[in-house]
Structure 1
Amino acid sequence: MNNLQIRQANLEDLSALQAIGRQTFSETYVDGNTEENMAAYLEEGFSEEKLGKELRNENSQFYFAMQVDEVIGYLKVNAGDAQNEKQDPDALEIERIYVLQKYQGKQVGTLLYMQALAIAKARKSPYIWLGVWEMNPRAIRFYEKNGFVEFGEHIFQLGDDAQRDVLMKKPLPDFFEK
């Protein structure tokens, strides 16, 4: 895609982060979830208070995929105690890679993923890991294609629905030797 740029988001981007977060989460998960559970999660998970706290956490970083002046996707990574599941403190968690539906299949997610790998390399992380909803086969295939393997599971609470996420990780030593 022409003019696609990745840039780090900061506290001044809170409203843009909230908008892209709610829209992409909605587009991704509206099918297969109740309206009530979606509304509850969108309100709580993307509240100004929660996002502001995450943006101020030195162990979390957000990146926007920008097409000219439009935010079309974003990445959130966590290290240390910001990880959702306590893993190796040096590991890097990809908590979110979301892209607007109309830009999916256009390498935006791949560029955000490459940003996560660059962060992991800079941190000298031994591996990168994530949780992906078991009912999201497209995302699971993407991660498997990129060398991730399943190593566990956890429960993701969406409103009153406890959903199973597959935990996947990719060791990174080969990445550092290149």
Structure 2
Amino acid sequence: MENLIIKKAYVSDVLQIQAIARQTFSETFSDVNSEENMNKYLDESFAIEKLTTELHNSSSHFYLAVLDEKVVGYLKLNTADAQTEKENQNALETERIYVAKEFHGKKVAQALYAQAEQTAQELKATYIWLGVWEKNFRAVSFYTKNGFVQFDTHIFRLGDDEQTDLMMKKVLL
């Protein structure tokens, strides 16, 4: 993937973020969730207004994975009060790493994760943490391979379905 570029995303990229977010979330979870719950989540979580607000938040950081001018994945990081759970102010949350299904296994997620680590170093974060659905075995394996360990669980609501996320962290040196 020598032509892969990871670039910071801005408010002007909101439509690209919305498109890749809806695509990748659907590809990852639509087979194991009801259509009603998926539609509700996609409409609420990836609404232009919500994404625009998140992009304006200086404690959130978005990055796009671009291959030959096509967005194939994205990353969302949160610091301070933007974190989805009350974690340490010096922690960095990786809220989303999503890659289009056709690019799974092609090191795109690894490149996005490398950006997360670089951002953590720049921000002098003491650790990186995330929540990952317990039944997303591919993602759990990816994070474990990258040195994350489970430290807790929390509930993730997808429509009217309560799902268990594993909370994982990697302490930085």
> TM-score under structure 2 normalisation?
0.99
Give unpaired runs (5+ residues) of structure 1.
Answer: 174-178
Partner of 1:52: 52
| CA root-mean-square deviation | 0.5
Question: 1:120-166: per-residue Cα shift (whole Å, max 9, x none)?
Answer: 00111110000000110111011111111100111111000011100
> Counterparts of 2:90 and 2:126 in 1: how far apart (Å)?
7
1:114 and 2:114 aligned: yes
> Counterparts of 2:68 and 2:31 in 1: how far apart (Å)?
30
Give unpaired runs (5+ residues) of structure 2.
Answer: none
Shift of 1:2: 2.6
Question: In the alignment, residue 144 of structure 1 is paired with which amino acid?
Answer: T
1:131-142 matches, within 5 Å, as 131-142=131-142
The aligned length equals: 173
Question: In the alignment, residue 5 of structure 1 is paired with which amino acid?
Answer: I
Partner of 2:97: 97
Residue identity over aligned pairs, in percent, reads 55
> Counterparts of 1:144 and 1:20 in 2: how far apart (Å)?
25
1:1-178 matches, within 5 Å, as 1-173=1-173
Question: 1:50-85: per-residue Cα shift (whole Å, max 9, x none)?
Answer: 100000000001000000210000000000000000
> Counterparts of 1:170 and 1:7 in 2: how far apart (Å)?
23
> Counterparts of 1:140 and 1:31 in 2: how far apart (Å)?
18
Aligned residue for 1:43, secondary structure, equals helix
> Counterparts of 2:143 and 2:15 in 1: how far apart (Å)?
29
Question: In the alignment, residue 17 of structure 1 is paired with which amino acid?
Answer: I
Q: Please list every run of at least 4 consecutive aligned residues from structure 1 whose deviation after the TM superposition is greater than 3 angstroms.
A: none
> Counterparts of 2:153 and 2:135 in 1: how far apart (Å)?
13
Partner of 1:176: none
> Counterparts of 1:16 and 1:142 in 2: how far apart (Å)?
25
> TM-score under structure 1 normalisation?
0.96
Question: In the alignment, residue 143 of structure 1 is paired with which amino acid?
Answer: Y
Shift of 1:29: 0.4
> Counterparts of 2:14 and 2:125 in 1: how far apart (Å)?
28
